[in-house]
Amino acid sequence: MSTPLICVVEDDPIMGESLADRFRLEGFDVDWYTDGESALGAMQTRPYQAIISDIRLPDISGENLFARSVAARTSLPPFVFITAYGCVETAVSLLKSGAADYITKPFDIGALVEKVRQLTGTCIPDQALPAQSELGVSEAMRRLADLVPRVAGRAKSILITGESGVGKEVLARFIHHHAPGDGTPFVAVNCGAVPETLLESEFFGYERGAFTGAGRQKKGYFEQAEGGTLFLDEIGDLPLCMQVKLLRALQEPRITRVGGEREVETNFRLICATNRDVAELVRAGKFREDLFYRINIVQLRVPALRDRPDDVLWLAHRFVKDIAGRLNEPTKLFHPSAEARLATYGWPGNVRELQNRLERACIICPQNMLFSSDIFEEDGAQAPAVMGADTPLDDYMAACESAFIRSALLQHQGHISETAHALGISRKSLWEKMRKHSIATGLLH
C-alpha cells in the first residue's frame, strides 16, 4: 500500500508545523503551505488524497481556495476545513458545496487524524486476522493451499516431497478433501512398514484359498482406494520388484488378485510422498525411472518448519486445543516465554516434534499455563539451538515480537482493540507493528 499524500494549508507556523509533524508520525506524506495560492498551484500536479485547510488564509480565503479548486478539476480530494467558532456558518456552507468536513478550534488533533484516515481509506480496521489458510499462515503454506484446488481435480498422480515430519500426509488429506466426490476413501500406506513378503497380497488383495491362511477373499490397497485416493508414504522405500507391479497397475489400470484369474479394473487418485531424493535414487538404480516419471506429474514440496517460522505458533495453538479436547480438559495457555521459545527454536523434527513436545507438556503439566521449561525439558541442562549461534539480538527480538503478535491476533479472533489491550499497547501501535513485521491481513466485514 502506497503512503497517502495530504496537503496542509495553514499560515500559523506553530499550528502548521504541529499538523505536518503529527501526520508524518502517523505515516502520511505531507506538503505544508502557508498561503492559498501556493497550495492551489500544487493541487494541479500533486496527487493529494486529502486537503486540510484553514478558512482564514493571508492571501485568499479557504472558501475561495475550495471554489477555485472545484472549478479547475473534474475530481477533487476531500477537503477538511479548520475554523474558529465564529466562522461555523461559512464552514457549513462549504459542506453544502461539497467539502468533506470541518473542525472548530481548539480541536483534538488525534480526532482529526482519524477523520483523515477515514477519508483516505487508511483507517485502522476494527478487525483483522493474519492471512491464513487451512495449511498455515506462512506464505509458503498459503501458496500450497491456493494451488491444491487446481491440481486436486485434475492430476491423477501427485508427488509430495519434504523432510520427515513436515506434514506430507496432512497435505495429502487436504488434496483428497478438495478432490471431486464426497465420501470417497482415503487409503494411506507406509511403504516402508509393509513386509516385503506381504507386499503383493496387501496391494493386490487375494482370493480365498490363494495360500495357507487365506480363509476369505480380501481386497488390496488398489481396490480399497476405488474412486478415491491411494496415498503411498515413503514411496522411495518400495522395493524394485513392487515398483514394476505398481507401474503396471497405474498404466493398465487393472489388477489381478493373488490366486485369482479375473482382472479387476481400478480407478483411484495416486498421491506419493517421500523424504528422499527420488531423482538420486533413480541415478543410483534404486528406483525405476519410468515409475518416477509416472508419479512425478505434479510435485509439491512441503518446506521444513524452520523455514516457515510463522506457522509455529499457529500450529501450537491448534495442537493444544485438539489435545485438550481429547483429554477433556481446559485448553492450556502459553506463557510469553514459551511462545518466544517456540517461535525461535530450530525444530529439527519439524511439525511432528512440535506436536509430540506439546502433547507431553499438556499431559504432564498440572497448571493451565505452559512455560518454556514444560515444553523444553532440556532448557535446564543443554538448550536446543535457537535460530543460529550468530543470530543478532535485534533479529531474535523481532522474531519473538512478530510471532507473539500473530498469536495474540489469532487468540482474539482478529479484534484489533482486544488484541492491543491484551498486549498493553494502542491500536495504532499494534497496526504499525503489524506493518513493520509484514503481517498480512485478511479484513473481516
Measured in Å, how far apart are the chain's first and last C-alpha atoms?
20
Provide the pLDDT for residue 386. Answer: 47
Q: Are 295 and 270 a contacting pair, CB within 8 Å?
A: yes
Provide the pLDDT for residue 97. Answer: 81
- What SS3 state is found at 31? strand
Of 230, 262, 296, the residue at which a domain comes to its end is 296
Tell me whether residue 136 is in a domain: no
Print burial letters for 331-347: b (CB count within 10 Å at least 16), e (below 16).
ebebbeebbbbbbbbeb
Q: How far is CA 253 from CA 267, 384, 428, in A?
A: 7, 49, 61
Tell me whether residue 211 is in a domain: yes
Q: Are 295 and 272 a contacting pair, CB within 8 Å?
A: yes
Of 275, 296, 317, the residue at which a domain comes to its end is 296
Domain count, the chain: 3
Tell me whether residue 30 is in a domain: yes
245 and 371 belong to one structural domain: no
CATH of the domain at 20: 3.40.50.2300
427 and 312 belong to one structural domain: yes
Residue 283: CB atoms within 10 A of its CB come to 11
The residues that bridge with 9 in the sheet, in sequence order, are 33, 53
263 and 314 belong to one structural domain: no
Provide the pLDDT for residue 378. Answer: 73
310 and 435 belong to one structural domain: yes
Provide the pLDDT for residue 381. Answer: 37
Q: For the purposes of burial, counting CB atoms within 10 Å of the CB of 230, is it exposed (0-12), middle (13-18) or buried (19 or more)?
A: buried
User: For the chain, how big is the Rg over CA atoms in Å?
Assistant: 32
Tell me whether residue 140 is in a domain: no
Q: Are 350 and 141 a contacting pair, CB within 8 Å?
A: no
The grid cell for 348 is 529439527
Residues written for the chain: 445
Question: Each residue's pLDDT tens digit in the chain (445 positions)?
Answer: 467 899 999 998 888 888 888 888 777 899 999 999 999 999 988 989 999 998 889 999 888 998 888 888 756 888 998 887 666 777 788 888 888 888 887 777 878 888 888 788 766 666 666 667 889 988 899 999 999 998 987 888 999 999 999 999 999 999 999 988 778 999 999 998 998 888 989 999 998 888 888 778 889 999 999 999 999 999 999 999 899 999 988 888 888 888 888 888 988 999 999 999 999 999 999 999 999 999 988 999 999 999 998 899 889 989 999 999 999 998 888 887 788 888 888 899 999 999 999 999 999 998 888 888 899 987 653 444 444 445 677 777 777 787 778 777 877 777 887 888 888 888 778 888 887 777 755 433 2
Structural domain of residue 160, as residue ranges?
156-296
The grid cell for 360 is 507431553
195 CB contacts (<8 Å, ≥6 apart)?
none
